A and B are shown apart, each in its own frame.
Chain A
C-alpha cells in the first residue's frame, strides 16, 4: 500500500436544476437524471471516450432494478465503458460520502481521477408490493406442485392490493425526520422567527447567486428546467409567518417553508490528482483536505437524530488542528432550518461541548454572513443524494473565485449520521 498521500483537486461539477416533487421531472428516473448530470460534466470537461478511475454514486430512494444505478448510468454516458462504478447509500450523506471515497482513492494513488455523484427522485418513487402479498407470492413460488401454488395464491386478499410506499420515517423510532427535528427544535429552544429568517436568507442568497451568473458553469438545463424550481426570490419573513406548522403539533415552529420540500435532481463532481488536471489543462477549483463521518445513538441514548454533524465537526477540526472560526465559508445543509440552528447552538453551548464533545471550551459561534452564501437546501431543495455534490461544487467554485480561503461542509443524514469535510482554495488559507 502506498504510504504517501497526494493532494486531491476538485476540477468542477455539474448538476441539473432541482425540481419539486411531481414537477418537471415527474417522469424522469434516477438513472435518467444521473445520466443527464454526468453528461453535462463530461461535456464541460471534454471527458468523452475517457476511462476514469471510478464513478461513485448513489440514491436514497431506489427501485430494486436500480441495483447498480451508477454503473448503468455510466454505461449510458459518453465516458469509456471501461470506467468502473459502484453505488453508495448513506441517506442524505451519500453525495458527500462519495466525494470522500473518490478523494481518498486519489490521495492514495489508487486512481488519478473520478466522479462522485448522486441522484434522487421522490416523483418516480419505488412503490413496492404489499408485504403480505409479497410473502404470499414467494410462498407460491416455493411450491413444487400446481395444487400447492393455487393453495398458496388462494390466500391473496383485496387489502393486499395496497402497495408499500416508501416513507420518510426512522425505522427504529417510527418518527418522521421532521418529527425528530421538531424534538431537537424544542430541546434547543429554536424559535419560529429565527428559522424563517434563515429560510429567507437561503432564498435570497440563491437568487443573488443566479443573478450574478454563479451557476453558469455548475449546471446544465434538463427537460426545459433552467433553474431550481423551489426558489422563491421574493420570499419574506412576513409571508412565511402566515404558514401553519407541519411538524411538532399545533404549537410547532417548523413549516413547509423552513423544512426542505420533497424534490428531484442529480449532481456530479469531478475529482482528480493535480497531475491529471495539469496534463489536460483543466483548472483546480479547490482541494479536498479533510473529511469525517460520525453517528449518534438516537435510539437508546436519545441524542437528537440530526446532531451527528456536530460531533463529526469536532473530531475533524481536532485532527486538522483548526478552530470553527478558521473558515471563510460554512456550508451547512439545511435539511430543516431548525437542524442548522440547533447545530450552531450546540457548538456555542459550553455544556454540550464539554459533556458530549469532551471539549474544555465551547467551539463558539460562526460569522452568520458566511453561512450558505450561495443559497442552501431550503431554497434549492434537497434531492437527498444530490445535495452533497451541489454543495461541494458550489463551495469549490466560490473558493476558486476568491483564490484563497477555506470552507467547511456539514451534512446531516438519516439514521443519526453526519458527514463533514473541508475544502481549501488553490492559494491555501487566507
Chain B
C-alpha cells in the first residue's frame, strides 16, 4: 500500500519544488517496534498552578524511564497538566508553556494536555475554562501535524489520577502515530488495575476478533497476539483459509461462521466455553449507494453485519457470563459515522449506531467491571482504499493534519490500548484514528 505521492514529494529534487509550490509534504511517521522505549527522546512537562496530575505524570515518566528535557534542546513530547486552570484568565498558562515548547518539538512529536472533564468541575468559570482546552488542542494539532506530530486532550475525572498510565503511555508512544486532535476521557477504574507486564499486557488473556482474515482485522489480531493475547479469529466461511493462515501464524484458533446467521451468537458462545477477555467487533462491510438508489436488502444486509449482529453477540456473551472480570468490548466505528458521507447512508447509520451502543453500554459494562469503547478509523491504507480511483484517494489521504493515510496497525494499536487490563478507567470513549481528518472534526 505505497503512498506514491509522499515518495515523490520527498524525493531529493522534487522536495524543494514541492515546498516552493506549497504542496503538503507528509513525513514518515514514527511507528512502534519491539524493544524501543515508550518515548524516544526528552519529555518536557509543565503545569498550571495547583494542577492535580503533576506527580502522577512524573511517576509514569519514571516508570517508562523517560529522559527529561531542560530549558534547551529538542524534545519528543510536551505534557501539560491543565487541571489547575479554573478561570478563562488562567488559560494563558497554555501559551506560557507551549510558546517556548512547541518550537523544540521534533518530528513525530507529541503534545498532550490533561484537564478535568468540564462537567466535573462544579463551577461555571472552571467548566468554561476546561471546555476551552478542546479548541486549543484541535488547533495545535493542525499547526504541528505537518511534521508528523500529534496532540490530544485527556480529561481525567477527579479521583482517577492514578488511572492514566495506559493512556499516557499509548499517547506518548509511536503506537498512537495516527491518532491526533482527540478528546479522551479517563474515569474512575471499573475494577482494581492488575499488576502488568507492560511488554505483554494481554498475557494469559483471550481475545475474540471478528473479521480477522485480512486488512484491519488481521492487523488487530496480530497486534493483540504481540501483546500476549491468545487470539480467536472469526470470519465468514468463504474467508476460512485466509483466516486459518492468520490464526495459525499467531498461535490462535479460528471460528468460521457468518455472524448474521441464525444462531450465530450461540455458536460463538459455545466456542468460548472458558470465557473471553476481549471482544473486538471489527467485521464490517460497505455497500455504497445513495439513498435514492438503495434497495431495502442492501440496507438490511449491511445493518445486520455492521451493527445488529454485534448487539446480539454482546447480549449472548454477557447473558451467559462469558466476559471475564475486567473484560473489554471494543467496537470499530468509522469517520463516516461521525461526518457522514454521500453514498453511505446505510454505512454511516450503522457506524453512528456503534457510537450509540458504546455510550449506552458503558454504564452497564462498568457495573460488570468491564469497559466498552470504539475506534473510528479515518483514511486507512488497505486493499479497499487501494482500489479507489486516484483523485478521491489522494484527497482522502491529504485531508488530515498529518497529510497522509493511516495504516491498519494504527487502528490495531488504539484497540490494544482499550484492550489493556490497565485501561480500567477508559470507558465509553469513541476515539478517531484519522490523523485529525478534517471531515466531521
| With A36-B70, A77-B70, A78-B70: A43-B58 Cβ-Cβ less than 8 Å | yes
Please state if B71 and A43 are interface contacts (CB–CB under 8 Å): no
B45 contact from A43, A217, A281, A282, Cβ within 8 A: A43
State the Cβ distance, A201 to closest chain B Cβ, in Å. 25
Contact of B61 with A by CB under 8 A: yes
Please state if A76 and B47 are interface contacts (CB–CB under 8 Å): no
Please state if A76 and B70 are interface contacts (CB–CB under 8 Å): yes
Please encode chain A, from 1 to 45, with 1 for each CB lying within 8 Å of some chain B CB and 0 for all others: 000000000000000000000000000000000011011101111
Q: Which of A219-241 contact B (CB under 8 A)?
A: 219-222, 226
Docked Cα-Cα span, A226 to B65, in Å, equals 8
| With A216-B63, A216-B65, A221-B65: A76-B55 Cβ-Cβ less than 8 Å | no
Contact of B67 with A by CB under 8 A: yes
Please state if B66 and A35 are interface contacts (CB–CB under 8 Å): no
Chain B residues with CB under 8 Å of A43's CB are 43, 45, 58, 61, 68-69
Please encode chain A, from 144 to 181, with 1 for each CB lying within 8 Å of some chain B CB and 0 for all others: 00000000000000000000000000000000000000
Please encode chain B, from 24 to 56, with 1 for each CB lying within 8 Å of some chain A CB and 0 for all others: 000000000000010000010111000000110
Chain B residues with CB under 8 Å of A281's CB are 55
Q: Is the interface of B mostly helix, strand, loop or mixed?
A: mixed
Chain B residues with CB under 8 Å of A35's CB are 70
Please state if A48 and B59 are interface contacts (CB–CB under 8 Å): no
Contact of A46 with B by CB under 8 A: yes
State the Cβ distance, A30 to closest chain B Cβ, in Å. 15
Chain A residues with CB under 8 Å of B311's CB are none
State the Cβ distance, B169 to closest chain A Cβ, in Å. 14
State the Cβ distance, B336 to closest chain A Cβ, in Å. 42
Docked Cα-Cα span, A36 to B66, in Å, equals 12
Docked Cα-Cα span, A282 to B47, in Å, equals 16
Determine the residue in chain B with the shortest Cβ distance to A17: B65
Q: Chain B: how many interface residues by the 8 Å CB criterion? A: 20
Chain B residues with CB under 8 Å of A216's CB are 62-63, 65
Please state if B58 and A44 are interface contacts (CB–CB under 8 Å): yes
Determine the residue in chain B with the shortest Cβ distance to A213: B63
Chain B residues with CB under 8 Å of A77's CB are 70-71
Please state if A46 and B58 are interface contacts (CB–CB under 8 Å): yes
Q: Which of A267-289 contact B (CB under 8 A)?
A: 281-282
Chain B residues with CB under 8 Å of A222's CB are 67
Please state if A78 and B65 are interface contacts (CB–CB under 8 Å): no
Chain A residues with CB under 8 Å of B65's CB are 216, 219-221, 226
State the Cβ distance, A199 to closest chain B Cβ, in Å. 27
Contact of B72 with A by CB under 8 A: yes
Please state if A40 and B68 are interface contacts (CB–CB under 8 Å): yes
Determine the residue in chain B with the shortest Cβ distance to A16: B67
Determine the residue in chain A with the shortest Cβ distance to B40: A224
| With A43-B45, A48-B46: A220-B67 Cβ-Cβ less than 8 Å | yes
Please state if B71 and A76 are interface contacts (CB–CB under 8 Å): yes
Determine the residue in chain A with the shortest Cβ distance to B72: A76
| With A46-B54, A78-B71: A220-B66 Cβ-Cβ less than 8 Å | yes
State the Cβ distance, B64 to closest chain A Cβ, in Å. 9
| With A76-B72, A281-B55: A44-B62 Cβ-Cβ less than 8 Å | yes
Determine the residue in chain B with the shortest Cβ distance to A48: B46
Chain B residues with CB under 8 Å of A226's CB are 37, 65
Q: Which of A28-86 contact B (CB under 8 A)?
A: 35-36, 38-40, 42-46, 48, 76-78
Docked Cα-Cα span, A44 to B68, in Å, equals 9
Chain B residues with CB under 8 Å of A219's CB are 65
Chain A residues with CB under 8 Å of B45's CB are 43, 46, 48
Docked Cα-Cα span, A358 to B44, in Å, equals 55
State the Cβ distance, B115 to closest chain A Cβ, in Å. 17
19 contacts between A and B (CB under 8 A): A39-B68, A40-B68, A42-B68, A43-B43, A43-B45, A43-B58, A44-B62, A44-B68, A45-B55, A46-B54, A46-B55, A48-B46, A76-B70, A78-B70, A217-B62, A219-B65, A220-B67, A220-B68, A221-B65
Q: Give A contacts to B, CB under 8 Å.
A: 35-36, 38-40, 42-46, 48, 76-78, 213, 216-217, 219-222, 226, 281-282
A36-B68, A39-B70, A44-B68 are known contacts; what are 17 more A-B pairs with Cβ within 8 Å?
A40-B68, A43-B43, A44-B58, A44-B62, A45-B55, A45-B58, A46-B47, A46-B58, A48-B45, A76-B70, A76-B71, A77-B70, A220-B65, A220-B66, A220-B67, A221-B66, A281-B55
